[in-house]
Chains A and B, each alone.
Chain A
Amino acid sequence: MLPFSYERAETLDDARKAVSDGGEQPPTSAAVQFIAGGTNMSDYMRLGVNRPAHLVDINPIPDSSLRTIAITESEVRLGALVRMSEVEDHPGINQRCPMLAESLKLAASRQIRNMASLGGNILQRTRCEYFRETSWPCNKRDPGSGCAAMDGFNRQHAVLGTSDACIATYHGDFAQALIALDASVEILGQAGSRRMRFAELHRLPGDRPEIETVLRPDEIIVAIAVSLPAWAARSGYLKIRDRQSYAFSLASAAVALDLSEETVRDVRIALGGVATVPWRATEAEEALKGKALTEETATKAAEIAFSGAKPRQHNAFKVELGKQTLVRALMDVGQMRI
């Protein structure tokens, strides 16, 4: 592990100012980087994948804007330092939007969720094996070196949103619930604060897979805001994985349904484990709107969701699995009693 220095930020201002050399590089290759729960950062530092020279610990910042879960009639605001387990345990969230709580409950292990923050969670980096072991060529870790996964053992890799440079999956579960509900993020940087749609935070790999988000190195995520229509109570997160707990998804689906009788008034669909970024399946949503929710319409929507899939040698099964996961999630959520 590279020697590094470590600083505890006492205020939000301290934190954003600690990163003076913002520069043009993405936060993940900046000299100064933030650490929250550290479950991703310290792991990847030990592997030599993340190599910050200086760490700014944002945990000591007392601001309630970073630490509280505030729930109103129409919205929930989640501070970036709220721990995953706090949200999964929150009765209001479980009731008003089960998908949010479930996407967290089904992630990692309880020990990790007690430590990991929501801000860190949405910024977690891919688990691509070739990315995590530094002896392989990897465009994301070492731009221009090539992508070992492309023609290698790519069973866990993405089939949607891939590029010729990178096919790494975005593994986070919570982000699928957020993108489905069109959440927004509050960001504070040296240039002041800004708010953006969560859907705009992550970047497709394209030919620059090392740039994962639109954040600048000095920018801190302060909070996440999610609007909660009444029908978000009819929502769920289905995660399919190689074992029943403590594994990243092979395919997952976050689904919320606004039903009038059998008819779909509105629907939100996001797909995890199969795409390079948090993935909202808008065309599949459109295909369902105004229709009755049946196996047939659900299957049709799933076909549409995966129509652009580009499988590689070992991950071809994810196309069929992804479709089946979505159909199952739609049918399960459709049958929920709320």
Chain B
Amino acid sequence: MNEAAPRPKENMGEPLPRIDGRLKVTGQAPYPADIPVNNLAHAVLVTSEIARGRITALHLDKARAVPGVIEIFTSESLHGDLEKPKFGPASTSIGPLHDTKIWHDGQIMALVIAETIEAAREAAMRVTADYDEEKPSTGFGSEGTETVAATEASKQFKEDVKAGDFNAAFASAPVTIDAEYLMPTHHHNPIELFSTTAYWQGEDLVVHEPSQNVHGWKVEIARQLKIEPDRVRVISPYIGGAFGSKGPVTPRTALVALVARRLGRPVRCVVTRPQAFTTQTYRAETRHHIQMGATQDGKITAFRHEGWEVTSRPDPYVVGGTSTTGRMYDYGSVLTKVFLVKADRPTPSYMRSPPETPYVYALESAMDEMAVALDMDPVEFRRINDATHEPIEGKPFSSRPLMECYDEAAREFGWSRRSLQPGSMRDGDWMIGMGCATAIYPANIAPCAVRIILTDDGRARVQTASHEIGTGIRTVAAQLTAEQLGLDIGAIEVEMGDTRLPAAPVAGGSNTTASVSSAIMKACGEIREKLARAAVTAKDGPFSGQDPHSVVFREGKLVAGNASQELKDIFELLGSGVIEQYSEFRPEATSPEAVSKLYKGKMEMVSGEKGEMVKYAFGAEFVEVHIHRRTREIRVPRIVGAFAGGRIMNTRTARSQLMGGMIWGISSALHEATEFDHRSARVVNRDLQDYLVPVNADIQEVTVILVPEVDKDANPAGIKGLGELGNVGTAAAIASAVYHATGQRIRQLPIRIDSLIG
């Protein structure tokens, strides 16, 4: 055991190393753009240089003159062969070449196809356009945006949660705060570039592309190409980071497939880093207005959270985190409202903990401000307002270990050494600040199918079209199967990310571990049942006549009491060499067709707020910052987080997810922002030189505490997701530490030197 492999506590699995770790670190994991394909043509996107208007002419002659250019696709090339993408399964309704209207900066205007990537790139650079340009709006503060209520704009966002009489409670509250917070646009920037490789085998299309939702994509790609879904195969076994960016299918994919069909040869399109800033999705910038009222002794009586979110003109993407923030504490009264601000921008989409990251940042910042207004320790303030029932519908939490997380993290961090007064802690020229915040994420679960093939030599193959986006699900699937069938993990192979495999839900909403594990447990149970039955019904075997449930599976054997029998022998009894077990897991609250819908690209995810109880994973994060009194650089020497996520399948992968989350949290607090040129609504920092994320030197001590928790009410497997928990709240903890160090309250992220100086 070492720090990376924490010793399992109660209800936690062994920290087995990742089964695909070696492949990944030695560069042998085949990512979709690495797949060797014969006779490949290369495609490069040409994107718009304006954010709003119309293309009046595309000049292609100079591009066509580049040796090796095969074809240039423009809006005149589609001939009605491609349906427009459908917002929802697709990231946007803005078609790649469907018309000459420009909705946003860097919109796809043409696709150059050439024999080599170099020729395609050079030709793409030579395409020029004439535009009929209109004045664009970037977002907040720009003229010409349109603000609409999210409930009216989107069917997905059903209601603005509320409880009690906020106005009266706020008006009469003895202590109040009223503040606005801003989180900027973020881009996922996974290290693996976005890419599509498409080829046809007769009428059948094969797409290699990193995807978090292969079955969903299959259906949407088929719809755009006007073919049957079963003709499409999407393959995505390895994904080099996703964070939501590979959730919805983007407009490029079906276009590349169409080009491959027209040319009669495979086509690969790798999106450049700068192009990803405009042709892929992003986290919408959000503005939050919070009003909070409390009694002198710290009981919150009124909470109001209004959010404004930037989206594109045509698509009402809603971030909408008020359903979580409105339920977080025992507020007394709640009033929330979410608005969309339509601007000349691409359509935003999911990014790690989509609603919680921005909305909880605002809420937890406000909590810190209220604690200051009350002259109260921020941990104690949260304790006073801890809840057993959420305030909106009065439903109980399936479990609520929030204060346990606070107490464990505070102890490890040494919170008691913090002095209350801002600016009171110093180390030479460095001002020291300490802050904390709550992390929360709903425990979601979805239908999932799996096939487990067990052979008589004691080897098993697990097949499910789930997605290994780096979370460790492939390892967890192997580990769980091994445990369930009494095999060594080395005997298990896992296949994922292919529409030929049994359907699995999108890798989103941190549902994967719960959903896939539930399906595996079901399949393994059925396999054990078959084998055990064969063993007890055998005429004169060691288990003859025993209760099949008394048989356990251990070290490749069936065992009951002192008796044991090799798997091989049981297979002989069965008269077969293989058990191929296909099983479907369907959460209780879903419809009977939930699994068949999954194959049709529709998913019924049961969110943590549904049902008799509300189900969340919780955490508490504590952070220390050092700020130089002159130059105001902000350093984060340490961060401690304690998290409870129900059953932990593997302490190593769980820690890794939470640690990565906290690091991203630091990034969102101090580094990340997509910057715009407000005159043109265009992105200025289009690469990793200027879109900063932390490097090793920025990250010092990161401590993850896994708090044991058993929560059978969350779902039968007792598993809550962790992938999107760690980065929630971090930014608020850091903003609060910055305040504690300097007395400066910065309500706009990222907090950089320029926020603090001058």
A contact set with B: CB distance below 8 Å: 1-3, 48, 127, 129-130, 133-135, 148, 151-153, 155-156, 240-247, 250-251, 314, 316-317, 319-321, 324-325, 327-328
Contact = CB atoms under 8 A, between A and B. Distances in A.
A320 to B, nearest CB: 4
B697 A320 contact: no
B669 to A, nearest CB: 12
B158 interface: no
Interface in B395-435: 429
Interface in B670-719: 671, 675-679, 684-686, 689-690, 692, 694-698
Given A3-B122, A134-B125, A328-B630, A153 B635 contact: no
A240 B684 contact: no
Interface string B233-269: 0000000000000000000000000000000000000
Interface size class of B (residues with CB under 8 A): 35 or more
Contact of A1 (B49, B121, B685): B121
A317 B751 CA distance: 13
Nearest to A148: B677
B274 interface: yes
A240 B631 contact: yes
A250 B632 CA distance: 12
Contacts of B630: 324-325, 327-328
A320 B695 CA distance: 26
A1 B125 CA distance: 8
Contact of B697 (A127, A156, A243): A243
Contacts of A250: 753
Interface of B: 49, 118, 121-122, 125, 274, 429, 628, 630-633, 635, 671, 675-679, 684-686, 689-690, 692, 694-698, 752-754, 757-758
30 contacts: A1-B121, A1-B122, A2-B122, A3-B122, A127-B689, A127-B690, A129-B690, A133-B274, A152-B677, A152-B679, A152-B684, A153-B675, A153-B684, A153-B685, A242-B752, A242-B753, A243-B697, A244-B695, A244-B697, A244-B698, A246-B695, A247-B692, A317-B753, A320-B757, A321-B631, A321-B753, A321-B754, A324-B757, A328-B429, A328-B630
Of the listed residues A242, A250, A316, the one surrounded by the most CB atoms of chain B closer than 10 A to its CB is: A242
A155 B754 contact: yes
A243 B757 contact: no
Given A240-B753, A321-B631, A327-B630, A151 B679 contact: yes
A257 B203 CA distance: 77
A129 B685 contact: yes
Contact of A133 (B686, B695, B696, B758): B686
Nearest to A48: B125
A298 B429 CA distance: 16
Given A245-B695, A328-B631, A135 B49 contact: yes
A302 to B, nearest CB: 10
A247 B633 CA distance: 13
A242 B679 CA distance: 25
B633 A240 contact: yes
Nearest to A324: B630
A3 B119 CA distance: 8
B758 A243 contact: no
Given A148-B677, A317-B753, A245 B631 contact: no
Contact of A242 (B429, B684, B692): B692
Nearest to B68: A3
